[in-house]
């Protein structure tokens, strides 16, 4: 019954009972004390009165006796008359005191004892005998003289007086003893009352403690159980049962704990699944792969593969993210059957998958990569849209390429990125080259601050017209003037800026600087057209054309006052999107140039379809062109082809006078190379004059 009551009701009941007990104890104690006080007062009053009357009777009798002695010594009758009156008054007062004492004994709250009654009767008899002797003595004084009366007094009156005084004293002593006895009884009554109060208080205290213990137990036991459940939940033990509580607050608390435990259990199960599983494809994720790798025996050998889908961003942009998500799920479903027991396929992020192949060597990893490529060649049909999927594979072997999962994943990803840049289907880390040095990685972290602090500067390398001898164009080259490292070579930071995408922040700054310089040149009458290199990230930036148009308007430049150079590798990253951007730039009137022609895999068909104005022959063919027949044939045919297509030709990398002379003799339009000038700071470039050619 107690457990079913609310805690508030239990507390109210406990305090009510405690208060009732205290009130009862206080009322009983007050009643007993009042009664004791009344009885005490009554007893004291009666005893004091009896004691007083007995004492008064004794005093008056003694005074009368003293006056009688004086009377016996007085011979003058006149003086004796006054003494007679005084003696009569004292005797009357003594009789009155005895009468009042008799009445007090009769009216006392407690009945008089037989001893008191006997003593009072004896005192009355002694009083009468003394009166008789007293008056006989007084009469003898007047009849026979004081001498005779003195004899009478000594013979009988004195004995009667002594007996009377002794009786009065005994009565007084008896009353004092009775008073002491009654006071002792009062003390006993007081002690009993005190013991009763103590007993009642102890009983009330015991009952209160018992009630408090029962109530505390009814509260603390379920609370302790609730605390135990909460501590178990905190430790992760979600299987501990929650006790069933009553309908009170504790029961509600236990019910809330049960709901919380179930919710946490459900949430932890989902969190655990999300921690080790990719929510989109249902495949394990990077965390799961790392955990599985760490559980492998220390001497295990094997391979980690990173698979990257080509042109996935274009699919997302063209068909929407939902189609892209379905494509990723379908790829996971197609690749999973290729795995053997102990092998893992995981989705890293976006369009990247990874495979963990314990026990596999490089040929086995290559074989699996070929199976993956063959399996993905079968077209996918999504929303009646045919999709041809290709991917690039990077391979890292353990333990030779790394002994932990993060390192192997990073190096396999680097191999995949290098394979894509080299137009390879797969590449191992050993073939892809070394990772960036720590010093270069630190430079990567400083690039953003360098751009904000203005540490980047522009150098220019002139393109000399072999026929007219002027400098119609110059290539703008980015340099980093580091405050501590000095001039940082571009090959140490530009590749990493492209890999991290930071080049997309550098390009707007670079275009702004170049156009500001071009505008200043035009104001001084210089018509040199600066050219700027665009990376693959820039060609995938749909806002680049608007940026160029805005800068041309800001600096008041004609569109042909700027030339943009595009490498073949950048074109191959996403040809369709790159072509769309180049068409927009060409529509603005900006000059376009294909850089490093011949070093990549671009077909001659691109020369027909791309809206370009200039072609730059890569230095690999210009090197030794005067003494290498094959190089000479390639350069000569390229010059003829470009002229037929209406393109101007720039030979870059010329380093000798012989190469320069050969290029001039074979109709090359422009030459850029160390034989003429190295890249120079802006002030040097403005002061530089081309040599006679």
φ, ψ for residue 472 (rounded to 5)? -70, -20
Indicate whether 428 and 476 sit together in one domain. Answer: no
Look at residue 230 and tell me if it is in a domain. no
Residue 14 confidence (pLDDT): 64
Domain annotation covers residue 278? no
Are both 421 and 556 inside the same structural domain? no
Token pair for 272: 């655990």
Comparing 446 with 382, the larger pLDDT belongs to 446
The domain boundary residue, chosen from 204, 219, 234: 219
Read off the tokens for 165: 């005084």
Across the chain, mean pLDDT equals 81
- The answer as to whether 128 is a domain residue is yes
Give the angle 128-151-127 at the CA atoms, nearest 5°: 10
* Residues 471 and 598 occupy one common structural domain: yes
Residue 1's pLDDT is what?
46
Q: Are residues 510 and 572 in the same domain?
A: yes
Query: pTM of the full predicted structure?
Result: 0.48
Q: What is the pLDDT of residue 125?
A: 81
Q: Does 367 share its domain with 400?
A: yes
Residues 202 and 303 in one domain: no
Q: 297: domain CATH number?
A: 3.30.70.270
Concatenated DSSP letters for 359-388? T--HHHHHHHHHHHHHHHTSPEEETTEEE-
pLDDT tens digit string along 622-648?
Answer: 999 999 999 999 999 999 999 999 999
Cα gap 166→376, rounded to integer Å: 145
Task: Supply the pLDDT for residue 275.
Answer: 74
What confidence tens digit (pLDDT) does each residue in 398-417 have?
A: 999 999 999 999 999 989 98
Q: Is residue 474 pLDDT above 70, yes or no?
A: yes
Last residue of a domain, one of 202, 219, 236: 219
pLDDT in tens, 339-348: 999 999 999 8
> For the stretch 449-481, what's the b/e string if a residue is b when 16 or more beta carbons lie within 10 angstroms of its beta carbon?
ebbeeebbebbbbbbbbbeeeebbbbbbbbbbe
CATH number at residue 585: 3.20.20.450
Inside any domain, residue 603: yes
Top-ranked range on mean pLDDT: pick from 100-109, 217-226, 272-281, 664-673? 664-673
Coil/strand/helix, residue 595 = strand
Token pair, residue 459, equals 């150098």
How far, in Å, are 340, 511, 568, 614 from residue 548 at the CA level? Answer: 53, 8, 21, 19
**Residue 530, strand partner residues:** 474
Which domain-ending residue is among 388, 410, 432?
432
Domain ranges, residue 42: 7-219
To which residue do tokens 């049962």 refer? 241
Separation between Cα atoms, residue 513 and residue 511, nearest integer Å: 5
Name the residue among 569, 593, 682, 578 with its Cα closest to residue 642: 593
Q: What is the pLDDT of residue 32?
A: 61
pLDDT number for residue 11: 62
What's the structural domain count of the chain?
3
Residue 180 within any structural domain of the chain:
yes
């Amino acid at each position: 019954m107690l457990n079913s009551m609310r805690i508030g009701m239990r507390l109210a009941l406990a305090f009510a009972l405690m208060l009732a007990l205290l009130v009862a104890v206080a009322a009983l104690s007050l009643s007993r004390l009042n009664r004791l006080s009344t009885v005490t007062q009554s007893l004291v009053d009666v005893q004091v009165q009896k004691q007083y009357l007995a004492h008064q009777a004794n005093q008056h009798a003694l005074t009368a006796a003293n006056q009688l002695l004086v009377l016996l010594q007085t011979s003058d009758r006149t003086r004796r008359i006054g003494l007679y009156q005084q003696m009569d008054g004292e005797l009357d007062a003594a009789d009155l005191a005895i009468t009042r004492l008799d009445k007090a004994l009769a009216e006392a709250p407690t009945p008089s004892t037989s001893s008191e009654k006997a003593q009072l009767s004896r005192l009355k008899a002694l009083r009468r005998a003394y009166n008789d002797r007293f008056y006989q003595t007084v009469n003898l004084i007047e009849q026979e003289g004081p001498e005779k009366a003195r004899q009478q007094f000594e013979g009988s009156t004195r004995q009667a007086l002594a007996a009377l005084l002794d009786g009065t004293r005994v009565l007084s002593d008896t009353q004092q003893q009775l008073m002491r006895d009654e006071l002792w009884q009062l003390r006993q009554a007081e002690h009993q009352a005190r013991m009763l109060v103590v007993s009642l208080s102890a009983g009330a205290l015991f009952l209160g403690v018992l009630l408090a213990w029962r109530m505390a137990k009814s509260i603390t036991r379920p609370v302790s159980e609730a605390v135990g459940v909460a501590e178990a939940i905190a430790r992760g033990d979600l299987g501990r049962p929650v006790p069933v509580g009553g309908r009170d607050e504790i029961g509600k608390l236990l019910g809330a704990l049960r709901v919380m435990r179930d919710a946490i259990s459900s949430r932890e199960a989902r969190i655990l699944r999300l921690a080790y599983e990719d929510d989109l494809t249902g495949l394990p994720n990077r965390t799961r792969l790392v955990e599985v790798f760490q559980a492998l025996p220390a001497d295990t050998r094997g391979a980690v593969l990173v698979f990257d889908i080509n042109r996935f961003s274009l699919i997302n942009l063209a068909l929407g993210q939902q189609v892209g998500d379905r494509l990723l799920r379908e790829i996971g479903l197609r690749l999973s059957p290729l795995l053997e027991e102990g092998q893992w396929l995981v989705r890293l992020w976006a369009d990247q998958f990874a495979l963990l192949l314990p026990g596999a060597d490089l040929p086995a990893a290559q074989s699996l990569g070929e199976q993956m490529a063959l399996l993905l060649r079968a077209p996918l049909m999504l929303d009646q849209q045919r999709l041809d999927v290709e991917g690039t594979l990077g391979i890292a072997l353990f333990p030779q390429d790394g002994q932990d999962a993060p390192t192997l994943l990073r190096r396999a990803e680097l191999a995949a990125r290098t394979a894509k840049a080299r137009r390879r289907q797969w590449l191992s880390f050993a073939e892809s080259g070394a990772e960036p040095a720590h010093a270069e990685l630190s430079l990567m972290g400083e690039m953003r601050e360098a751009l904000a602090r203005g540490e980047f500067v522009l150098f220019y390398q002139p393109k000399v017209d072999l026929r007219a001898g002027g400098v119609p164009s110059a290539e703008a080259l980015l340099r980093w003037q580091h405050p501590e490292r000095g001039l940082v070579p571009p090959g140490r930071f530009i590749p990493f800026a492209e890999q991290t995408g930071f080049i997309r922040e550098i390009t707007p700054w670079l275009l702004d600087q170049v156009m500001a310089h071009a505008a200043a040149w035009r104001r001084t009458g210089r018509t040199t057209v600066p050219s700027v290199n665009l990376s693959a990230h820039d060609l995938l930036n749909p806002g680049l054309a608007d940026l160029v148009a805005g800068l041309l308007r800001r600096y008041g430049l004609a569109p042909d006052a700027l030339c943009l150079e595009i490498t073949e590798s950048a074109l191959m990253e996403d040809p369709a999107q790159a072509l769309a951007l180049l068409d927009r730039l060409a529509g603005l009137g900006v000059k376009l140039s294909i850089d490093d022609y011949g070093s990549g895999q671009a077909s001659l068909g691109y020369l027909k379809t791309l809206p370009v104005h200039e072609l730059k022959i890569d230095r690999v063919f210009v090197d030794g062109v005067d003494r290498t027949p094959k190089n000479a044939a390639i350069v000569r045919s390229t010059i003829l082809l470009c002229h037929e297509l209406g393109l101007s030709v720039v030979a870059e990398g010329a380093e000798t006078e012989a190469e320069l002379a050969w290029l001039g003799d074979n109709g090359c339009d422009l030459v850029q190379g160390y034989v003429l000038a190295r890249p120079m700071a802006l002030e040097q470039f403005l002061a530089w004059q081309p040599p006679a050619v």
